[in-house]
Structure 1
Amino acid sequence: MPQPDVSGVRQTDASLDEDVSAWQVALQQYDRAADKLDLGSAVRDVLRNPKREVTVHFPVQMDDGSTRVFTGFRVWHNVTRGPAKGGIRFHPRTDLAEVRALAMWMTWKCACVKIPYGGAKGGVTCDPKSLSARELERLTRRFTTEIADMIGPDSDIPAPDVNTNAQVMAWMMDTYSMHHGYSVTGVVTGKPVSIGGSEGRQEATGRGVVYTIQEAAKTIDLDLRNARVAVQGFGNVGEGAARFIAELGARVVAVSDSRGGAYNEDGLDLALVARHKQETGSVSGAPRTRPITNAELVEIDCDVLIPAAMEGVITERNARGVRAHIVAEGANGPTTPEADEVLRERGIMVIPDILCNAGGVTVSYFEWVQDREEFFWTIDEINARLRRVMVRAFEDVHRTAVEHDIDMRLAAYMLAVSRVAEATLTRGIYP
């Protein structure tokens, strides 16, 4: 099998510079839009700062009888347009600055696609891969009690994020419900269908990513049939995006996860790769593939690059090596502002995260609505509604970019920030 063309690529995984936090990146992106909009100083300061931040330290009993203390966070960035909405992640590198940035991005994401939520995020600093299922359940339930005064179907609705899933949401919903004495299905989204979850929620983010890629491809006359696609991250978002774009006839040539990647220039057998990951814990080493690092994947020769893992993987150091025509941000904050500038100069279209990966929160909104109505939609209805939301949002952003001769990220931020600013000014300051 031919080796991938990765000449000149660094052999270490791309990651956010240690001296540049996700929060600094989020502020730079916001300030750029605020400058373009010429926001007044008062509303500018309101939108620049998180509304509420909670840090909790809580004990969890381990299987061996010992007790460990974990640190968790929940941040509301802005709730002017509706209840706070944002996922819960379990990751060793999770800290307050990261969660604060992710909460801000959620505010803009919800506004970008016009769903009536504000932005929130939460997380626990831990390595879930080192925990047993029972330990993970105890950690989840205790963390839920620690933030119980913040969350609720009318105030703050968590959802899955990195290293969390429908089962974690089920534990959160059950814990919250036990404290209230009755089932409160709408307190979280992304939960199992059997307890009030929505059809289509698990694959919604990946499906939404592909809907935006389809629209972007039309604007640059890129035929997705047999287009070469590379996907960094093979979790819920990356695996789904890879599968859906392959169904359109694209050729997925590379995928990766935290342990490494797999490459085949003729196209990967995604079912075989998924089975290998299920059996071994990684896509690396899958049959009929060559190994590839995450750094190599970012700079591989392809038409569409989908960073769907963590933030800060496309930086000033590797942006000039990106060879895709479209970068579709399946992850939150995968591109630093310095890298953004390089990609703009090179004419590479970036579908920004607050638009590209908004499919997940959109179907979370659908789930929340269905829970409140106690009336559930079919998968075809959900996918059709999701497509309408994503296509309309892409058209709004692209039209703004063309009208103002700006890049897609700035256009998305201008729309989102202006919508939140308008809501803030309309509501006024209390008292």
Structure 2
Amino acid sequence: MGNSIPSNFGFFKGVEKNFDKAAKYTRFSKGILEQIKACNSVLQVKFPVKIGENVEVIEAYRIQHSHHRTPCKGGIRYSMAVNQDEVMALAALMTYKCAIVNVPFGGAKGGIRIDPTKYSEYELEKITRRYTSELVKKNFIGPGVDVPAPDYGTGAREMAWIVDTYRSLHPNEVYSNACVTGKPVTQGGVRGRVEATGLGVFYGVREACNIEEDMKRLGLSVGIEGKRIIVQGLGNVGYHAAKFFQEAGAILVGLIEYEGAIYDENGLDLEAVVAHRASTGSILDFEKAKSVKTSSEVLEYPCDILIPAALEAVINESNADKIQAKIIGEAANGPLTPEADEILNKKGVLVIPDIYLNAGGVTVSYFEWLKNLSNVRYGRLEKRFDENMYAEILNIIESMTDKKVSKIEKKILLRGPDEIDLVHSGLEDTMIGAYREVWDIWKGEDGVEDLRTAAFVCAINKVGVAYEELGIFP
């Protein structure tokens, strides 16, 4: 993104620093806190794959951070930036994320150190299937053991390869589809998974903007409508977050991508930008917008809400004091360093932390996992019953009032929920409930200084109680 990460930046140490900051507000002993913080299982594998006429040795990881709940849960990313420190940090964040949104998983993460753009689809399939077989051999995948999902550089296609490989190695396992989430719907996936993280970001920021006390302190009106927003990253998360914000009446003033950024204080049309990029290969030179080749500069432009939805550490001690946004919603994992956090908190910026805000993906993954265990599509059992019941109620009302509703109104009133309606509803309820839980800790009597610390306190409390209930600390 054109923004240099400080050379001393250790992602896992940054997560531990936030953990330690929050731990003092909890009641747990040092031993339990150390157990919560530690990565329980670290798998590094190197395996050969024939690419063209040559054999390449592929480096890959799967790290299970916590077993306080099983299975473990977390995405698999394909990137040349993959290393043990990054995967450990992301696995730890998954543990805390799942705890905050009350999803009964331990945290995990995986990664393969490759540039996926340098391989053909056939070569990527070979790498993915070999990685899956390594996970199976080491017992690092399974519906009750460890359930991967898509992440940076992966998607439904890779998840389909994983589930197919797993099924071939476990031909008689009735719940084999539940070994991975983020699959195509035809392979046991759930509708609504694609947009889940971006939609969760929207629900979380919307809930924050609905709290009058906080908006008054920031000098902003309540609600999303009319707020100026900048989004960094036009991948799956950034695109869907921008889409839902724009549909809710926010003004999309800036978009940032790796090739540069565009800014227009009057607002950008997201779909028009996407179409422009598809035809030109770049968001730059979009009509009427200001083009900025050093993309990180636009992080510092005027806006009400900044959504970093790309890489970690893009806001750090070198640029945090220049950020003009009043609200930062961490759609990516770790986009702020701890040093940036301190600077922004002193400025009074409301930072909505990643361990809460980007939990939409794992929440809907949980719904998919439950669907695979039950082997029943959401809405299949109740949709027709609901529609018939609504029709009966409507008939009674019409007969009592001697008035008829129009065909369009009847269609709306009698519609039963489809799978995507139920998934979106469950996600919305989860994000609203979790934000209120974290906010109550922040505003409680313990003097917790910021929302991120409150989120970590919330997570530590839940994981700590789970460990106590397991009775493993005599």
Please indicate the TM-score interval, normalised by the length of the shorter structure.
over 0.9
Letter in 2 for 1:290: K
Q: Distance in 1 between matches of 2:278 and 2:58?
A: 28
Any conservation in 2 of the 1:215–1:391 contact (CA below 8 Å)? Answer: yes
> Paired residue for 1:206?
198
Q: Distance in 1 between matches of 2:30 and 2:223?
A: 45
Rate the CA distance shift 1:55–1:324 in 2: closer, same or farther, 3 A.
Answer: same
Letter in 1 for 2:270: L
Any conservation in 2 of the 1:206–1:240 contact (CA below 8 Å)? Answer: yes
CA shift digits 1:296-335 (9 cap, x unpaired): 1211100100011111111111111111111000001111
Any conservation in 2 of the 1:261–1:283 contact (CA below 8 Å)? Answer: yes
Q: Distance in 2 between matches of 1:61 and 1:284?
A: 39
1:20 aligns with 2:9: yes
Gaps of 5+ in 2: 216-220, 379-418
Moved more, 353-362 or 277-286: 277-286
> Paired residue for 2:169?
179
CA shift digits 1:74-96 (9 cap, x unpaired): 00000212310000001111100
> Paired residue for 2:39?
50
Tell me, what secondary structure is at the counterpart of 1:413? helix
Matches within 5 A, 1:67-216: 67-148=55-136, 149-181=139-171, 184-216=176-208
Rate the CA distance shift 1:93–1:42 in 2: closer, same or farther, 3 A.
Answer: same
Q: Distance in 2 between matches of 1:90 and 1:282?
A: 23
Any conservation in 1 of the 2:251–2:266 contact (CA below 8 Å)? Answer: yes
Moved more, 15-24 or 395-404: 15-24
Any conservation in 1 of the 2:260–2:295 contact (CA below 8 Å)? Answer: yes
Matches within 5 A, 1:352-367: 352-367=353-368
Q: Distance in 2 between matches of 1:132 and 1:236?
A: 21
> Paired residue for 1:241?
241
Any conservation in 1 of the 2:230–2:254 contact (CA below 8 Å)? Answer: yes
Tell me, what secondary structure is at the counterpart of 2:437? helix
Q: Distance in 1 between matches of 2:351 and 2:178?
A: 34
Tell me, what secondary structure is at the counterpart of 1:301? coil
> Paired residue for 2:401?
none
Structure 2 residue corresponding to 1:414, chosen from 457, 467, 473: 457
Tell me, what secondary structure is at the counterpart of 2:25? helix
CA shift digits 1:129-185 (9 cap, x unpaired): 111111111111111111122100111000000011111111111111111125721
Letter in 1 for 2:2: D
> Paired residue for 2:470?
427
> Paired residue for 1:8?
none
State the structure with more CA Rg. 2
> Paired residue for 1:5?
none
Tell me, what secondary structure is at the counterpart of 1:317? coil
Q: Distance in 2 between matches of 1:178 and 1:286?
A: 48
Moved more, 210-219 or 411-420: 210-219
Q: Distance in 2 between matches of 1:278 and 1:79?
A: 43
Tell me, what secondary structure is at the counterpart of 1:153? coil
Tell me, what secondary structure is at the counterpart of 1:334? coil
1:36 aligns with 2:25: yes
Tell me, what secondary structure is at the counterpart of 1:306? strand
Q: Name the TM-score, length of structure 1 as normaliser.
A: 0.94
Instruction: Give the superposition deviation at 1:263.
Output: 2.2
Moved more, 113-122 or 221-230: 221-230
Gaps of 5+ in 1: 1-11
Q: Distance in 2 between matches of 1:407 and 1:317?
A: 21
Moved more, 174-183 or 329-338: 174-183
> Paired residue for 1:229?
229
> Paired residue for 2:296?
295
Q: Distance in 2 between matches of 1:131 and 1:263?
A: 34
Identity of aligned residues (%): 42
Q: Root-mean-square deviation (CA), in Å?
A: 1.6
Moved more, 289-298 or 151-160: 289-298
Letter in 2 for 1:284: L
Rate the CA distance shift 1:157–1:253 in 2: closer, same or farther, 3 A.
Answer: same
Q: Distance in 2 between matches of 1:259 and 1:102?
A: 26
Matches within 5 A, 1:301-380: 301-377=302-378, 378-380=419-421
Any conservation in 2 of the 1:15–1:314 contact (CA below 8 Å)? Answer: no
Q: Distance in 2 between matches of 1:278 and 1:367?
A: 31
Letter in 2 for 1:181: P
Moved more, 87-96 or 372-381: 372-381
Any conservation in 2 of the 1:272–1:287 contact (CA below 8 Å)? Answer: no
Q: Distance in 2 between matches of 1:419 and 1:209?
A: 22
> Paired residue for 1:61?
50
Instruction: Give the superposition deviation at 1:35.
Output: 2.2
Any conservation in 1 of the 2:256–2:296 contact (CA below 8 Å)? Answer: no
Instruction: Give the superposition deviation at 1:196.
Output: 0.5
1:268 aligns with 2:260: no
Instruction: Give the superposition deviation at 1:204.
Output: 0.5
> Paired residue for 1:394?
435
Moved more, 278-287 or 235-244: 278-287
Q: Distance in 2 between matches of 1:139 and 1:255?
A: 33
Instruction: Give the superposition deviation at 1:280.
Output: 5.0
Tell me, what secondary structure is at the counterpart of 1:78? coil
Letter in 2 for 1:23: F
Moved more, 13-22 or 343-352: 13-22
